[in-house]
Structure 1
Amino acid sequence: MTTPAMPSTLQIGLSRGGLELRSYFREKSAVAFTLAMPVMLMLIFGMIFKGKVGNTGVDFRQYFAAGIIASGIMSTTFVSLGISIAQERDDGTLKRLYGTPMPKAAYFLGKTVLALTLSVLETIILFVLGNLLFGLKPPSTPERWLTFAWVFVAGVAVCTLLGIAISSVPRSGRGAAAVLNLPYIVLQFISGVYFTFADLPSGVQHVGALFPLKWISQGLRSALLPDALLASEPAHSWEHGRTGLVLAAWGVAGLTLCLTTFRWKRRRDG
């Protein structure tokens, strides 16, 4: 009798991703908080903000909408994953999974499938709202579509790795939301989401430029908004090369932190 072949790590990971999605969408409160928060911020602040960005002729609400899309990517990856993994560690789920024959990489593949799916869904929702309410247009050329695609994929990958890495910081699942939301909220204010980045104090600009959200926001602006906006960018350039380098550096840092600090058990479990 031929022994049936064992499923590959990829197959198990994709299956795990399906399970993650089904479990996630059963939690209506989690779905509402993760997907609705950026939507509510876009609606509220979009109705408040008026005027143009400097002398560029670009509606500030379009600038803001592009930043909120970047912020939404961080919400569905860094924040959502970090909280859920910390809670799974706290309730013993990770410990039980660690004792099964499931390849450990399959667990992270499953989380990646969840993060990517939520990011795509969030981006579509925010873009449709931005288009209907503020006139945000899709990329106008194949080159801009390519820019949008690689910035989106790089942003999801980096924030997913950082979300997995920071999940080891909260001491309990109950405190995870506070630990994850604090840096998320601060980064939104210093990364050109709620304010034109060039209008921020120079010291704040230098701090914001150290983190990936600023570069994800700038990359999405370069794909969605006209080149007239370059006049309001600090470098008067979209800096695609620097954006790629910064996101790559954060990706390496996030992967290193995942490999060296991730814990399958609670601290009190030893």
Structure 2
Amino acid sequence: MSTFAPAPGAAPFLRQVTTQASMEARLMLRNGEQLLLAVVIPVIVLIGGVRGADRVNLSYGVDTFTPGVLALAIMSTSFTSLAIATGFERRYGVIKRLGTSPLSRTGLLCGKVLALLAVEVLQVAVISGVGFALGWDPDANVLALLLAVVLGTAAFAGLGLLVAGSLRAEATLAAANLIYLLLLAGGAVVLPVSAYGSFGDVVAFLPSGALGEAMRAALSESTVAVRDLVVLAVWAVVGAVATARTFTWE
């Protein structure tokens, strides 16, 4: 007769991360407000930019706007939506309960990044479809595109969790939206850094400018924007390290 021998212990780190990512992705796709920020607003910006560029004397067309709006969608999801959702999860004790599990801060960050990448597949499909309908003809480098999406998501996710883990929920809501609007207007996301004159030399080193330039290089020029990818990698490391050290569960 065999004797039952329990073997308590945490699941492997990879299984923890994938389970967390699956749950996060399902929650994001069920949230109407998150989908509005992730899909609807970028689509409006794309259509408005392409249709209204001539009226405000902008010489940019759909081939410039579509990669920029894809970068905006990544920023919307991996920074603004993530920061706000995580801020209120901390407020209502969801994150506190995760803190009692074997899931570490690093595991939480990795799980959220994987969930964001899954949602971004939907974003890319929808926005690209709208771009094609408007006459977009990309000259894509798939490797450069994947690197830009992954590094951009990691950079903004780390920064989003840094904000959410440091401020109260209401302050996170205000800060995330304010930063989003500032980067949308002056962060070289939708428009290239060349549109900002001498200020472009500064915004090129922001995660927004680096992501926008990397996406435009990948989809309009079929090249790998090495400098911009390095900038994103640096922001990703800084955000991840700062989040791992400062994030509080409640």
Shorter-chain TM band: 0.7 to 0.9
Deviates more, 1:254-263 or 1:107-116: 107-116
Map 1:23-62 → 2, pairs under 5 A: 23-50=27-54, 60-62=61-63
Instruction: Work out which of the residue numbers 179, 182, 193 in structure 2 matches 1:186.
Output: 182
> What residue number does 1:233 align with?
none
Aligned positions of 1:1-270 closer than 5 A:
1=4, 3=6, 7-50=11-54, 60-137=61-138, 139=140, 144-171=141-168, 173-202=169-198, 204-226=199-221, 240-265=225-250
**Offset at 1:145?**
1.6
Deviation at 1:239, TM superposition (A): 7.7
Q: How far apart are residue 102 of structure 1 and its match?
A: 4.0
Return the TM-score normalized by structure 2: 0.86
Residues in 2 aligned to 1:99 and 1:182: alpha-carbon distance in whole angstroms: 32
CA-CA distance at 1:35 after TM superposition: 2.2
Q: 1:17 is matched by which residue type in structure 2?
A: A
In the TM superposition, what is the alpha-carbon distance from 1:104 to its structure 2 partner? 4.5
Partners of 2:105 and 2:244 within 8 A in 1 = no
The structural deviation recorded for 1:6 is 5.1
Cα displacement (A) at 1:245: 2.2
Cα shift at 1:96: 2.1
Which amino acid is 2:79 matched to?
Answer: F
> Does the 8 Å CA contact 2:188/2:204 hold for their aligned counterparts?
no
Structure 2: stretches of 5+ with no match in the other structure? none
Q: 1:201 to 1:11 in 2, by over 3 A?
A: same
What TM-score, normalized to structure 1? Answer: 0.80
- Report the number of matched residues: 245
Q: Percent identity?
A: 25
CA distance in structure 1 between the partners assigned to 2:90 and 2:75 by the alignment: 21
Report the Cα distance in structure 2 between the residues aligned to 1:249 and 1:41, rounded to whole angstroms. Answer: 28
Structure 1 pair 85/145, CA: closer, same or farther in 2 (3 Å)?
same
Q: Secondary structure at the match of 1:192?
A: coil
Quick one: distance in 1 between partners of 2:93 and 2:10? 27
The Cα of 1:100 is off from its aligned counterpart by 3.1
Q: CA deviation at 1:240?
A: 2.3
Give per-residue Cα distances to partners, 1:135-180, cap 9 Å, x unaligned: 23251xxxx2211121121111111111111213432x23322211
Contact 1:50–1:61 at 8 Å: present in 2 too? no
Amino acid in structure 2 at the alignment position of 1:201: G
Deviation at 1:34, TM superposition (A): 2.6
Q: Distance in 1 between matches of 2:195 and 2:143?
A: 28
For structure 1, the 5+ residue unaligned runs are 228-237, 266-270
Q: Deviations over 1:45-65 (max 9, x none)?
A: 2221139986xxxx5222011
From the superposition, tell whether residues 175 and 248 of structure 1 become closer, same or farther in structure 2 (CA, over 3 Å).
same
